[in-house]
Chain A
Amino acid sequence: MNWTTFFALLARDAHVARRNLMSLLVQTMLQPLLFVFVFGKVMTQGGIMPESYKGMLAPGIMAMSMVMTGIQAVSMPLIGEFQFTREIEDRLLAPMKIGWLAVEKILAGMLQALAAGAVVVLSARLLLGSGVSLNFDRPLLLAAVVLLVALFSSSGGLLMGCSVGMTQIGLMFSMVLAPMISFGCVYYPWSVLKAFPVLQKVVLLNPLVYASEGLRGTLAPQYPHMSPMVVIAALAVTDALLIVLGLRQFYRKAIS
């Protein structure tokens, strides 16, 4: 394996991310921060939601931000690079097996998803103050969940970036990402869905459910949540599946 080339490609992505830092931050972080403010601050201080809602919400928002960031960070450039500017061609010719370019994209997306998660944790502390007590007592479990969530987001981004056409980007948001967030147990724990038994089963197909529940289970275990082991198993299977499908689509796009 040619690591020189691999790290040069990673350096290129880092350079571009640095250059677009402001728009990248606004693109991925503004919406979660607004959610934190409206749901965590306005609604609790306004008395509509109990104070404890903040702590339940923060891990969900973190999961959502990580997932959205990773998916967008990988898929949006790929859609443009494969279909519009074709600028990926130069990197496909780099002296390295082309599958590693997809791996590099996944790694770059993971790093951005992790950065997004960190920003949410910090801003939740700043914005929501004392009402949020995040639990860092189980660092290994937390690390495992966070890494699996990041991997889910960027490998999902790879699959979408190599499957969605330029003209379907709007549809990707409204038909895939919006329902995923709405039924991703971001704003409520999975257990409250027991009032909707069918829905409660159906949402298990949504990987964001495991991301939200996993982060809730590790960062705010005082709230109802799924067993972390179930979460890890489900995310591991999802990640493996997305990587296999994503790589397959990547090869299809890259080689005719």
Chain B
Amino acid sequence: MAIGVRTKDLRKVYSSPPPMAAGTAGFTMTGTRGPKKKDIQIVALDGLSFEVEPGEIFGLLGPNGAGKSTALGILTTRVRPSGGQAWIGEHDVWRQQVEAKRLIGVVQQRPNLDFALTAREILMFHGAYYGVSPPERARRAAELLDRFQLTERAGELVRGFSGGMMQRLSIARAMMHDPQVLFLDEPSTGLDPQTKLLLWEIVREYNRSGKTIVLTTHNMDEADELCRRIAIVDHGRVIAGGSPAALKQSIPGGYVLRLRFHQPPPELAERLGALPGVTEVRANGDSADLYADRGGQLIPAIVEVASALGAELCDVHISEPSLENLFLHHTGRSLRP
């Protein structure tokens, strides 16, 4: 039976720069009075609550430093919460660590493979830690090596592996004990497009076998492509949540039309803003960004307004409702670094 994941009012305040389990940098700094180390307070999570339903692919989307990795760190027993609670199924992650650890597989953002072992040994020993029987270990290791296209190099130490191979092996390792919940922290960072597609396919396939997947990403395409539901995280809080499609529709004027004119008169922006469906116009010299609830249908009206004022439309770019626009809408900032 599939297992869900839940967090309630998770808080995490670091009193020194977040160490390895938290992964990334770029946290909100507060209360940094004076140079004393003890005064440093880094708020990574500020009341983070979300619920992952059993058997779904759930994404935490947000920029670097939003608190995604810290949230995953708490859910995987590696970060002690300063407040709030987290559950894997019925198990409180902090109080019932061993029970929680049995149910989860984790792929960290940075490869952390055992450099003293070969690829096959990494899988075999990982299985042994979870009490998988030797014949079953060998069978699963062979199957995963094959699935992840690593069989040829299975007998080599992983030192010489490329980033993509290490990432594939990390995911194979996390699946070795057949966990009910798979956590992936920025799984496609640094992967070439082909490997990324392989990874997505494998994640979907694992999910189809009834497993719950929780991933973090700052890549909108990934969230859009893979996740059934997402939570948008910023400054350690969930600022919006739901299915990617519903979230995108939730913003008024989800379309952005970037226009460029030849010799636009000053009153053009105002006239464009009065067109039906346009919510906002940001003019800058020759160009103007139109935020609207429709895309291409507006073009004839724009051309008409422009030519009435003696200006010529020379370039149009229409971007459809996206998670990027959504993030911009909620935070006023771009998701891209």
Contacts and interface: CB of A to CB of B under 8 A. Distances in A.
The number of chain B residues touching the other chain, given as a range, is 20 to 34
B116 A20 contact: yes
Contacts, number: 93
A256 B98 contact: no
Contacts of A19: 116
Contacts of B148: none
A12 B112 contact: no
A94 B129 contact: yes
Contact of A15 (B106, B115, B121): B121
Contact of A87 (B77, B112, B129): B112
Contacts of A248: none
A95 interface: yes
Contact of A95 (B14, B80, B101, B112): B101
A11 interface: yes
B19 interface: yes
B79 A255 contact: yes
A8 B130 CA distance: 9
A29 to B, nearest CB: 20
Q: Interface of chain A, helix or strand or loop or mixed? A: helix
A94 B121 contact: no
Interface in A2-16: 2, 4-5, 8-9, 11-12, 15-16
Nearest to A91: B129
B160 interface: no
Interface in A201-250: none
B108 A89 contact: yes
Given A255-B21, A256-B18, A256-B22, A93 B77 contact: yes
Nearest to B115: A85
A12 B116 CA distance: 10
Contacts of A91: 129
B105 to A, nearest CB: 8
B154 to A, nearest CB: 16
B78 interface: yes
A78 to B, nearest CB: 13
A86 B20 CA distance: 8
Interface residues of A, number: 30
Contact of A96 (B18, B73, B80, B98): B98
Contact of B126 (A4, A11, A90, A97): A90
Contacts of B128: 4, 8, 11-12
A92 interface: yes
Contacts of B6: none
Nearest to B22: A256
Nearest to A16: B116
A5 B19 contact: no
A90 B126 CA distance: 8
Contact of B130 (A11, A82, A95): A95
B111 to A, nearest CB: 8
Closest 8 CB pairs of A and B: A8-B128, A86-B112, A94-B129, A16-B116, A256-B19, A4-B131, A95-B102, A89-B112
Given A255-B21, A256-B22, 11 more contacts: A9-B129, A12-B114, A19-B116, A86-B112, A87-B113, A89-B108, A90-B113, A90-B114, A91-B129, A255-B77, A255-B80
27 contacts: A4-B131, A5-B130, A5-B131, A8-B128, A8-B131, A15-B117, A15-B125, A82-B20, A85-B114, A86-B20, A86-B108, A86-B112, A87-B113, A88-B112, A89-B78, A90-B113, A90-B114, A94-B130, A95-B102, A95-B129, A95-B131, A97-B98, A98-B97, A253-B19, A255-B80, A256-B21, A256-B79
